[in-house]
């Protein structure tokens, strides 16, 4: 077996003006066709009040540091009705987000949340409500929404809702991306059930405060669509603060924040630990950014695009068609493509076709004429996509959907079994919020594939082009991570199966004791065994990042959910494990809920204040981190797992912090430019065009 460092590919600059002319400008008409959707972040009364509950203010505070983001949301509502109300607040569930704290200020009462088994929390809420006491209840409706019940919302009075959640962030080809979800995704099941017209305009101020701390230098940050209004302060090479303050805004458009790391950064391994004392188990988040010189595939490759044309794609189909058309335009004449569409059933729109200029142009014209209607039968679309594959050519399946599968086969284990039968590269993209994350996770798991979400309002084109970059290059096969030294248990995300160009990997785990440990990445590249390794020390005590425990527990829960979905774990066993993790680490899941009461009510009901103690620990650590420079968590600086020629690293910032990137080539730069600029230009165009497009702009101005 050969052990060797691998250099990063050569860097190429971002040619923004050419990108605008050649890629972004043709997309404006398609993007501007997006329809206005119902909003999240609203308080909806139960019953029939005379007037909707008003939104007095909406503030979002985001801190991105050490590979994860902390989001705090503070909203103030006013009930203009003459009677008290019970109301529901809804918010889309961000991917891999762990809801950690809920506080309700109802008049003079301050209510805080504690996680219990779901049935216990629901019973406590109903009993407190029936007794006329102030209470709240936070639940998670599968992968779709968080729901917060509040009772009572007093007549002619304000109520303030504050909640915090954490989520790991990954870097793709040098670009980090954070999304605060506000758009209702328009997915089939959600659109037909919960969402309804409500008061979604903030009467006062909508504020976003973002602080980015990266130990690796950051070349640029962007808030697409708000360039004129956002105030950007660069405090250091990797330290930015962004403020956005809007009056009278509507809550029907996602807030998207991009940050692009400097070129020529090295591949690296970063380990962010937490261990409160030497008698407790340690927890860690490992961020692996492979510096892999994965060569282009020169013999020609096959691409099958599987496209959702169901009714919920209304307003998005133009953007989708244009994005696929642009990806086809970046193919080589030796490549082949075909197109499958699906709604209630699936059909082969175009069979294998050489990617010549004329064929690509004809295919793009055909895509532009697609008309969305009907339900969502993803399984049948994949069945067609997996037929007639050529074993002598690299084959990839790119699925783009915004819906929850509701026609034909819907069981996740059936999708897993279908995809496991074929050696293909699978890339799944979910358009908008409320889409079926667990199902895409199952598909990616079956193939060693890759999946990502895109805001309805920004970057489907860029994401498809990033997939094109991954498809067009070699990948590591049969990849696995092996740990030795310290006793490491309960890892998640450590068997990716395939590793693609530009991909960053996040692994969670527990460790016993302290001292030296070694991590090895073993894989095959072009038929040759490869091993990349580095050694590091786990600390006996490190209290800087207690949030890592919740993120680890959530990763464990997601892994259990996937195993249950494909039939590897019985439902009762999965439910018990998820409930235990949810209560132990105070996470709202499908099987747990957060009861929100005042101190006296918790004492009267004999409920332990586990979350109160955990939140206090997290707040103390956050206060310390806020006052200090960003900390390096790179563990392989002395013994690099991956090497790179002449890395450019700011000496003032150090290295690490979980914000990794790699060198870029021209295709990467085009894709990244699309990601960051598509929303910018589209939003600008919306503000300055007439009719329906001006109506879309008024939602955020």
Q: What is the mean pLDDT of the chain?
A: 79
pLDDT tens-digit map of 177-209: 898 887 654 444 433 333 344 567 888 888 999
**Element (H or E) spanning 161, and its range?**
strand 157-168
State the number of CA atoms in the 13 A half-sphere of 301 facing the CB. 22
Distance (Å, whole) CA 153 – CA 53: 9
Residue 144 — very low, low, confident or very high, per pLDDT cuts 50/70/90? low
What is the structure's pLDDT at 570? Answer: 94
Q: Strand order of the sheet with strand 336-342?
A: 346-354, 336-342, 301-308, 394-401, 425-431, 450-454
What is the structure's pLDDT at 14? Answer: 34
pLDDT tens-digit map of 10-27: 333 333 333 323 332 232
What is the structure's pLDDT at 28? Answer: 25
Distance (Å, whole) CA 674 – CA 461: 7
Distance (Å, whole) CA 451 – CA 446: 12
Which pair of structure tokens corresponds to residue 522?
Answer: 């073993």
User: Would you call 98 helix, strand, or coil by DSSP?
Assistant: strand
Distance (Å, whole) CA 688 – CA 189: 34
Which pair of structure tokens corresponds to residue 245?
Answer: 């303050």
| Measured CA distances, 656 to 250, 459, 555 (Å) | 38, 27, 22
Answer yes or no: is pLDDT of 113 > 90: yes
User: Would you call 438 helix, strand, or coil by DSSP?
Assistant: helix
What is the structure's pLDDT at 242? Answer: 96
* Phi, psi (deg, nearest 5) at residue 433: -85, 165
**Position with higher pLDDT, 406 vs 28:** 406
**Position with higher pLDDT, 649 vs 269:** 269
Average pLDDT of the residues in 488-515? 85
Average pLDDT of the residues in 561-586? 93
- Range picked from 45-54, 317-326, 513-522 for highest mean pLDDT: 513-522
Q: Within a 10 A sphere around the Cβ of 554, how many other Cβ atoms?
A: 25
Distance (Å, whole) CA 547 – CA 658: 14
Task: Note whether 515 and 544 are within 8 A (CB).
Answer: no
Q: Within a 10 A sphere around the Cβ of 89, how many other Cβ atoms?
A: 26
H helix runs in 242-300, sequence order: none
Distance of CA 435 to the CA centre of its chain: 11
State the number of CA atoms in the 13 A half-sphere of 491 facing the CB. 20
Answer yes or no: is pLDDT of 6 > 60: no
Tell me which long-range contacts 137-141 makes (C-beta under 8 A, separation of at least 24): 137/593, 137/594, 137/595, 137/596, 138/99, 138/102, 138/113, 138/163, 138/588, 138/593, 138/594, 138/596, 139/588, 139/593, 139/594, 140/93, 140/99, 140/588, 140/589, 140/590, 140/593, 141/194
Answer yes or no: is pLDDT of 665 > 70: no
Indicate the pairing of strand 505-525 with strand 528-538. Answer: antiparallel
What is the structure's pLDDT at 120? Answer: 97
What is the structure's pLDDT at 513? Answer: 83
Answer yes or no: is pLDDT of 686 > 80: no
Q: Where are the domains of the chain?
A: 43-261, 268-291+475-579, 300-474
Residue 678 — very low, low, confident or very high, per pLDDT cuts 50/70/90? very low
The residues, any chain, with a CB within 8 Å of residue 142's CB and separated by 6 or more, are 438, 590
Answer yes or no: is pLDDT of 283 > 60: yes
Instruction: Write the DSSP assignment of 575-642 as a string of letters.
Output: HHHHHHHHHHTT---TTEEEEEE-HHHHHHHT---HHHHHHHHHHHHHHHHHTSPPPP-BS-SSS-SS
What is the structure's pLDDT at 639? Answer: 82
Distance (Å, whole) CA 686 – CA 30: 11
Which pair of structure tokens corresponds to residue 538?
Answer: 């786990």
The residues, any chain, with a CB within 8 Å of residue 600's CB and separated by 6 or more, are none
What is the structure's pLDDT at 199? Answer: 62
The residues, any chain, with a CB within 8 Å of residue 280's CB and separated by 6 or more, are none
Average pLDDT of the residues in 670-691? 35
- What crossing angle do the helices spanning 547-565 and 610-626 adopt, rounded to 10°? 120
Answer yes or no: is pLDDT of 271 > 90: yes
Sign, Cα dihedral of 196, 198, 201, 207: negative
Answer yes or no: is pLDDT of 493 > 60: yes
Q: Which CATH class is domain 43-261?
A: mainly beta
**Position with higher pLDDT, 605 vs 333:** 605
Per the DSSP assignment, residues forming a β-bridge with 397 are 304, 426
Q: 222-236, 363-377, 487-501: lowest mean pLDDT where?
A: 487-501
Per the DSSP assignment, residues forming a β-bridge with 212 are 64, 240
DSSP E strands, 343-401: 346-354, 394-401
Domain spanning 300-474: CATH superfamily: von Willebrand factor, type A domain (3.40.50.410)
Answer yes or no: is pLDDT of 429 > 90: no
What is the structure's pLDDT at 696? Answer: 36
What is the structure's pLDDT at 326? Answer: 77
Percent of the chain with pLDDT over 90: 38
Per the DSSP assignment, residues forming a β-bridge with 672 are none
Answer yes or no: is pLDDT of 61 > 70: yes
Residue 270 — very low, low, confident or very high, per pLDDT cuts 50/70/90? very high
DSSP conformation class of 183: B
Task: Note whether 498 and 285 are within 8 A (CB).
Answer: no
Residue 453 — very low, low, confident or very high, per pLDDT cuts 50/70/90? confident
Torsion angle of C-alpha atoms 667, 670, 675, 679, degrees rounded to 10: -160
Answer yes or no: is pLDDT of 688 > 50: no
Average pLDDT of the residues in 499-525? 88
Distance (Å, whole) CA 539 – CA 615: 23
Distance of CA 542 to the CA centre of its chain: 27
What is the structure's pLDDT at 186? Answer: 46
User: Would you call 405 helix, strand, or coil by DSSP?
Assistant: coil
Distance (Å, whole) CA 138 – CA 141: 10
**Element (H or E) spanning 243, and its range?**
strand 239-247
- Range picked from 113-127, 362-376, 485-499, 620-634 for highest mean pLDDT: 113-127
State the number of CA atoms in the 13 A half-sphere of 502 facing the CB. 29
CA angle 665, 668, 674 (to 5 degrees): 140
DSSP conformation class of 389: -
Q: Is 657 left (phi over 0), alpha (psi -120 to 50) or beta?
A: left
Per the DSSP assignment, residues forming a β-bridge with 247 are 205
Per the DSSP assignment, residues forming a β-bridge with 135 are 151
Distance (Å, whole) CA 484 – CA 469: 34
DSSP conformation class of 387: S
Answer yes or no: is pLDDT of 75 > 70: yes
In CATH terms, the fold of domain 268-291+475-579 is Immunoglobulin-like (2.60.40)
Per 3-state DSSP, the chain is made up of helix, strand and coil in percentages (nearest 5) of: 25, 35, 35
Nearest CA to 89 out of 68, 100, 69, 74 is that of 74
Place of tokens 């009901």: 605
**Position with higher pLDDT, 687 vs 612:** 612
> Matching CATH topology for 268-291+475-579 and 300-474?
no
DSSP conformation class of 403: S
**Position with higher pLDDT, 681 vs 342:** 342
Residue 591 — very low, low, confident or very high, per pLDDT cuts 50/70/90? very high
Sign, Cα dihedral of 659, 238, 58, 177: negative
Place of tokens 């084109």: 461
**Position with higher pLDDT, 584 vs 261:** 584
């Amino acid at each position: 077996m050969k052990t060797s460092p691998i250099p990063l590919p050569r860097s190429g600059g971002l040619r923004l003006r050419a990108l605008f002319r050649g890629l972004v400008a043709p997309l404006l008409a398609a993007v501007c066709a997006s329809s206005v959707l119902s909003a999240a972040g609203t308080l909806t009364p139960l019953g029939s009040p005379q007037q909707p509950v008003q939104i007095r203010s909406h503030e979002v505070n985001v801190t991105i540091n050490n590979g994860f983001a902390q989001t705090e949301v503070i909203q103030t509502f006013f009930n203009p009705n003459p009677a008290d109300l019970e109301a529901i607040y809804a918010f889309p569930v961000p991917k891999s987000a762990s809801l950690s704290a809920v506080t309700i200020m109802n008049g003079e009462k301050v209510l805080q949340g504690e996680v219990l088994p779901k049935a216990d929390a629901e019973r406590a809420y109903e009993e407190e409500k029936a007794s006329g006491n102030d209470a709240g209840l936070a639940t998670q409706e599968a992968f779709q929404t968080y729901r917060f019940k509040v009772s009572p919302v007093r007549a002619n009075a304000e109520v303030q809702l504050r909640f915090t959640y954490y989520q790991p962030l990954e870097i793709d080809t040098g670009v980090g991306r954070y999304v605060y979800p506000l758009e209702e995704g328009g997915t089939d099941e959600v659109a037909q059930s919960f969402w309804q017209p409500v008061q979604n305009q903030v009467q006062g101020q909508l504020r976003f405060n973002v602080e980015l701390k990266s130990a690796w230098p950051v070349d640029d940050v962007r808030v697409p669509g708000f360039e004129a209004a956002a105030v950007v302060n660069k405090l250091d090479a990797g330290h930015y603060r962004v403020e956005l303050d809007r009056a009278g805004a509507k809550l029907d458009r996602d807030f998207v924040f991009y940050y692009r790391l400097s070129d020529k950064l090295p591949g690296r391994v970063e380990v962010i630990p937490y261990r409160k004392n030497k008698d407790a188990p340690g927890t860690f988040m490992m961020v692996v950014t492979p510096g892999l010189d994965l060569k282009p595939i020169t013999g020609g490759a096959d691409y099958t695009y599987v496209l959702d044309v169901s009714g919920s794609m209304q307003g998005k189909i133009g953007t989708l068609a244009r994005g696929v058309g642009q990806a086809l335009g970046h193919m080589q004449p030796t490549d082949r493509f075909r197109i499958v569409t699906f709604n209630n059933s699936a059909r082969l729109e175009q069979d294998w076709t050489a990617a010549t200029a004329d064929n690509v142009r004809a295919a793009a014209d055909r895509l532009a004429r697609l008309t969305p209607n009907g339900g969502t039968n993803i399984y049948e679309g994949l069945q067609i996509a997996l037929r007639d594959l050529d074993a002598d050519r690299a084959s990839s399946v790119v699925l783009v959907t915004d819906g929850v599968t509701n026609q034909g086969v819907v069981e996740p284990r059936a999708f897993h079994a279908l995809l496991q039968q074929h050696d293909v590269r699978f890339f799944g993209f979910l358009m908008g919020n409320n889409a079926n994350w667990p199902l895409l996770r199952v598909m990616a798991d079956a193939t060693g594939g890759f999946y990502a979400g895109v805001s309805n309002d920004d970057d489907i084109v860029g994401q498809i082009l990033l997939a094109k970059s991954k498809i067009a290059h070699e990948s590591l096969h049969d990849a696995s991570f092996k740990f030795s030294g310290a006793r490491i248990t309960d890892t998640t995300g450590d068997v990716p199966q395939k590793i693609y160009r530009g991909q960053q990997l996040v692994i969670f785990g527990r460790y016993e004791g302290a001292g030296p440990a070694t991590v090895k990445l073993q894989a095959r590249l072009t038929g040759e065994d490869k091993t990349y390794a580095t050694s590091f020390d786990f600390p006996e005590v490190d209290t800087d990042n207690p949030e890592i425990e919740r993120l680890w527990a959530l990763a464990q829960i997601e892994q259990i959910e996937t195993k249950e979905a494909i039939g590897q774990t019985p439902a009762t066993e999965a439910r018990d494990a998820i409930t235990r993790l949810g209560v132990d680490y105070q996470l709202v899941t499908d099987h747990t809920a957060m009861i929100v009461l005042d101190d006296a009510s918790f004492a009267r009901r004999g409920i332990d204040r586990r979350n109160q103690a955990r939140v206090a620990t997290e707040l103390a650590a956050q206060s310390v981190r806020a006052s200090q420079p960003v900390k390096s968590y790179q563990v392989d600086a002395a013994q690099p797992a991956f090497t790179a020629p002449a890395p450019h690293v700011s000496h003032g910032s150090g290295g690490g912090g979980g914000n990794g990137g790699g060198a870029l080539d021209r295709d990467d730069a085009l894709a990244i430019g699309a990601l960051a600029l598509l929303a910018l230009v589209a939003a600008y165009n919306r503000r300055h065009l007439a009719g329906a497009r001006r109506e879309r702009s008024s939602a955020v101005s």
